Amino acid sequence: MYVMALFQGIVQARFERSPLPAHKGTRTVVLRILKEIDAVQCLVPSYDEYIKRPKAGHLFSKRFHGKLRPWSVDIDRPHKGKLTTIGLGFLWDSTEER
Domain ranges of the chain: 7-95
- Model's pTM, two decimal places? 0.79
Cβ atoms of residues 36 and 56 within 8 Å: yes
Euclidean distance between CA atoms 92 and 67, whole angstroms: 27
What's the pLDDT tens digit per position in 42-85? 988 888 888 888 999 999 999 888 899 999 989 888 666 677 77
Which has the closest alpha carbon to 8: 34, 33, 36? 36
Tell me, what's the pLDDT at 59? 96
Residue 2: pLDDT band with limits 50, 70, 90:
low
Residue 40 neighbours by CB under 8 Å, 6+ apart: 7, 8, 9, 10, 11, 53, 54, 55
Q: Is 59 strand, coil or helix?
A: strand
DSSP SS3 for 92 = helix
